[in-house]
Structure 1
Amino acid sequence: MAGAQSDVELFGHVIDGEEITAGDGPGFDSVDPYTGRPWARFPLGSGAEADLAVDAARRAFDSGPWPRMSRSERRAILHRLADLVLENRRDLALADTRDMGKPVSQSLNKDVPRTAENLRFFADHAALTPAELYPSDTGHHAYTRYEPAGVVVAIAPWNFPLMLASWKIAPALAWGNTVVLKPAEDSPASVTILARLALEAGMPPGVLNVVHGYGPDSVGSALTGHARVDRVTFTGESATGTAVARAAATHLTPVSLELGGKGANVVFADADIDQAVEWSARAAFTNAGQVCLAGSRLYVHRSIAEEFTRRLCGAADLLVPGDPKDPATLLGPLSSGEHHRKVSGYLDSVAEWGGTVATGAAGPGLFVRPTVVTGLPKEAPHRNEEVFGPLVTVTPFDTEDEVVAEVNDSPYGLNAMLFTEDLSRAHRVAASLRVGTVWVNCFFVRDLRAPFGGVGRSGLGREGGTYSREFFTEPKAVVVRVGEDPGADGAA
């Protein structure tokens, strides 16, 4: 890591292969949400740094070796980067834990390995995925080439800083693009380490750049509205996604937006209750509920609602808040004081809306204990807005048609879960839900070949497998005359 000053570690922008620390210039601190003390300092970027990073990425794309390497050559470097990620897993995991309070058991055992997996998968996918060949009767040979799109701006969220950044940059890099990555200002450390490791792995300067700063009227808006950028991929809240799309539209820059969610979780009467309780607790309380996919809207068939709620409360009470750097801790603090005030506000208004807190409460410091709320009316904000904390609402239902209509009556459509032992119902309900992903009798199981994204206010576009290829490349049709032309021009 970079040097330390008064026990505060210094990190920099990574632009064109060089790391530029704050020095005596403007900077900002990352505050450990558990201790309440700054642990790292970063340079505060502006439009000037955004220009420098885009210029570096532009040069690296237009005249550098990266887009001109064979896919096998890029694949080897990305696999080397994945190796280095695992070799440096503790530094990477602790960076996310100290930035935003994620339990180190999660960042070390899940997020870092998944980051390496993302790098390996997309490196292999780009090297091994075939393109289309179109048979022709006109004496021509037609096929598709997938050329890299150019300079990609990637904006990563604060809740899974390393893993979700890798989800964006891995396919972009594998297909030959160059990248300017702006991490969330609340959690910028791990991706800076990743950029250092990329250079160590042999990635040429300018291919992966990291710029620190804020969003509106700062680095974020300068990047998303930049004239020399070819793609923008963003994960974050829906309102910010709207601003990103508006900025990119100035130059008709294609965007991929993975935005907010209000995940529904439906438990039918025939569900395996043990399994449903376990998965529902994970879906609601993992990462202190700071997950866009969180199953925060829980619908339980009325015949089992009382028992299910009691058992869910028992599972919630087992999650004891603690130091996120302790490997035994499963529940860390919320990411910041501002976010803690937001989530606590929802807890404070439960009674006002006629609901009951079955278990849970705001705790000491920035902790919020896993909270289960019952009895809220349909119009309560707790049931409709993205709380982004460890709060789940439980609502009983009577019929399949009723609960499907309830789930679909939301501006969000990122994901849903359903628990049932009836195979026909599982397929029928999954087909009826207006969401991007449906998990049946499980949660957060990802196949990296499958499409990922949402509908409505949950996003625009899909990523994963060939869906990422479509976004990060410019498909090109090539038609070659190879024989005698019988006279048809093939025009549509």
Structure 2
Amino acid sequence: MEKILNYIDGEYREPQSGKWLDNYEPASGEVYSKIADSDASDVAAAYEAAKNAFPEWSNTPIEKRSRILMKIADLIEENLYRLAEAESKDNGKPLSLATTIDIPRASANFRFFANAITQFSSEAHESVGLQTMNFTLRQPLGVVGCISPWNLPLYLFTWKVAPAIAAGNCVVAKPSEVTPLTAFLLGEILTEAGLPKGVLNIVHGTGPSAGQAIVEHADIKAISFTGGTKTGEHIARTAAPMFKKLSLELGGKNPNLIFGDCDYEKALNVSVRSSFANQGQICLCGSRMYIEASIYDQFKNDFVEKVKALQVGHPSEADTNIGAVVSKPHMEKVQSYIKLAKKEGATLLYGGEAVTIEGYENGYYLQPTILEVDDNTCRIQQEEVFGPLVTLMKFSSEEEALALANGVKYGLSATLWTQNLDRTMRLSKQLEAGIVWVNTWLNRDLRTPFGGMKQSGVGREGGFEALRFFTEPKNVCIQFGDRL
């Protein structure tokens, strides 16, 4: 059986404990590989490799670092189908999605930051009266930790490690133990691209073991984490006494506001996608739909019919819209929320049942599920489910829509459908979300800041925001002339 090894100091290594975790294929429910069950000793080895690599890497000319990142991007593109098949097998997502979104975006992340570091400039301020010149040095932090989630495995793993190494840091990174395969395969690409040994070290294992060891390591200067809010709270408490820099991209319970003056067909079609893409396992999915009363009944009926047409199937099939959810425990969690919602008074409009796929009877397949609610305080409206489940609720005024949208503890994203420019500007300012899409969804420009408000996180990723996070600004003041 295949073993997923750690990548430390430019080579693959077994865990020092000799312990392994089972890795399940969501589509079949079967174990198909073993994952290194790493602990603090493996993290310590990764840290030492990173520490030893840092002096040379941090002083490597930007142009050379850029060329290496570009080579990594090229090799990801060359291995597109191999990586996409691995991602689909490991995560359960449709192969078509991994081929067109996940792996191309992983390549784009390296390519973007390879270019960005060549444009990342320092500020300078001359004070003529004082005869001083102040300029800002932006220096890499040292060894940093990156911990990424299971829903977009290589996509979000590279979203963190690319800016970290581009800025001159060395990294100890942990992908999710639920979906480790593409991060494991990335090690081969890093070696082929000529990334110096120790610059990027990949340690596999669980959060409480390997993840905790990264967070509590006294000499790892910063933590970039994407995952659940509860885990984010734990990381913040652990890191606070050591004054580590933190970037935490956490949970989301994102509103999708649909007004009567919207482009109806576009809003309908995109809302189906924004609700159920990647089995609803995207932090930016619109899991709470609020629809203006004037179009509510028609939109509800049309939405249900569109969702009924979605094909639940094996990820490798070309006509599959909904693949397998990531794990059996996660599927059970989603099912428990469906039962809870009905108990709290929600009406099941469609779905909610497990699906059996011939030949893959033990796979984790679930119908896309639509629930109608009339109480915004019920748990299905307030808590992140992160699966193929969406709620529908009616509103009568702009003020009510805004109150409903903001009436949760999360603030990651929001989507707004309206042709009214004044409403667009008003609500874009008032919605408590780190990103607001108007008449679109999931359009991302890598130059823009990304992150959440409230319990959706701390800090921003993307563009120069990521490079600022992974560097320390230092002011240098030089006096010239003969002024005392």
TM class, shorter-chain normalised?
over 0.9
Is 2:19 the partner of 1:12? no
Cα distance between partner residues in 1 of 2:379 and 2:350: 19
Deviations 1:222-280 (A, max 9, x none): 11010110110000000001111112123111110000000000001100110111111
Q: Which moved more, 1:419-428 or 1:475-484?
A: 475-484
Q: Which amino acid aligns with 1:159?
A: N
SS at match of 2:242: coil
> What is aligned with 1:423?
421
CA contact (8 A) 1:105 1:328 kept: no
Is 2:187 the partner of 1:195? yes
Cα distance between partner residues in 2 of 1:212 and 1:459: 24
> What is aligned with 1:324?
315
Cα distance between partner residues in 1 of 2:309 and 2:137: 53
Q: Which moved more, 1:237-246 or 1:131-140?
A: 131-140
Cα distance between partner residues in 2 of 1:334 and 1:318: 19
> What is aligned with 2:232?
241
Write the mapping of 1:327-338 to structure 2, written as runs, cut at 5 A: 327-338=318-329
CA contact (8 A) 1:353 1:376 kept: no
Gaps of at least 5 residues in structure 2 are 356-362
Offset of 1:379 from its aligned partner?
2.4
Offset of 1:10 from its aligned partner?
2.0
TM-score w.r.t. the length of structure 2 is 0.96
Offset of 1:333 from its aligned partner?
1.0
Q: Residue 45 of structure 2: which of 33, 47, 52 is its match?
A: 52
How many residue pairs match? The answer is 476
Offset of 1:24 from its aligned partner?
9.6
SS at match of 2:207: coil
Is 2:144 the partner of 1:162? no
> What is aligned with 2:441?
443
SS at match of 2:375: coil
Q: Residue 352 of structure 1: which of 343, 354, 377 is its match?
A: 343
Q: Which amino acid aligns with 1:287?
A: N
Gaps of at least 5 residues in structure 1 are 1-7, 488-492
CA contact (8 A) 2:374 2:394 kept: no
CA contact (8 A) 1:22 1:41 kept: no
SS at match of 1:350: helix
Q: Which amino acid aligns with 1:475?
A: P
Q: Which moved more, 1:16-25 or 1:309-318?
A: 16-25
Is 2:141 the partner of 1:143? no
Q: After TM superposition, where is structure 1 displaced by more than 4 Å over at least 4 residues in a row?
A: none
TM-score w.r.t. the length of structure 1 is 0.94
CA contact (8 A) 2:15 2:38 kept: no
> What is aligned with 2:360?
none
Cα distance between partner residues in 1 of 2:346 and 2:38: 45
> What is aligned with 1:153?
145
> What is aligned with 2:370?
372
Deviations 1:114-140 (A, max 9, x none): 111111111111112222111211212
Offset of 1:22 from its aligned partner?
5.7
Q: What is the Cα-based RMSD across aligned positions, in Å?
A: 1.3
Write the mapping of 1:85-96 to structure 2, written as runs, cut at 5 A: 85-96=76-87
CA contact (8 A) 2:17 2:38 kept: no
Q: Residue 210 of structure 1: which of 189, 199, 202 is its match?
A: 202
Q: Which amino acid aligns with 2:256?
A: N
Q: Residue 168 of structure 2: which of 176, 198, 213 is its match?
A: 176
Q: Which amino acid aligns with 1:382?
A: I
Cα distance between partner residues in 2 of 1:165 and 1:19: 18
Q: Residue 472 of structure 1: which of 467, 470, 473 is its match?
A: 470
Cα distance between partner residues in 2 of 1:347 and 1:86: 40
Q: Residue 108 of structure 1: which of 69, 92, 99 is its match?
A: 99
Cα distance between partner residues in 1 of 2:57 and 2:306: 50
> What is aligned with 1:5?
none
Q: Which amino acid aligns with 1:315?
A: K
SS at match of 2:127: coil
Q: Residue 412 of structure 2: which of 404, 411, 414 is its match?
A: 414
Q: Which amino acid aligns with 2:76?
A: V
Cα distance between partner residues in 2 of 1:320 and 1:330: 5
Q: Residue 396 of structure 1: which of 390, 394, 397 is its match?
A: 394
> What is aligned with 2:22?
29
Cα distance between partner residues in 1 of 2:222 and 2:396: 46
Deviations 1:444-485 (A, max 9, x none): 111111111001110001111121122100111122223232
Offset of 1:361 from its aligned partner?
2.1
CA contact (8 A) 1:22 1:42 kept: no
Cα distance between partner residues in 1 of 2:169 and 2:240: 20
CA contact (8 A) 2:324 2:366 kept: yes
SS at match of 1:135: strand
Q: Which amino acid aligns with 1:57?
A: A
Offset of 1:366 from its aligned partner?
1.6
Q: Residue 383 of structure 1: which of 375, 381, 385 is its match?
A: 381
Percent of matched pairs sharing the same residue = 40
CA contact (8 A) 2:146 2:172 kept: yes
Q: Residue 431 of structure 2: which of 429, 433, 445 is its match?
A: 433
Offset of 1:350 from its aligned partner?
3.2
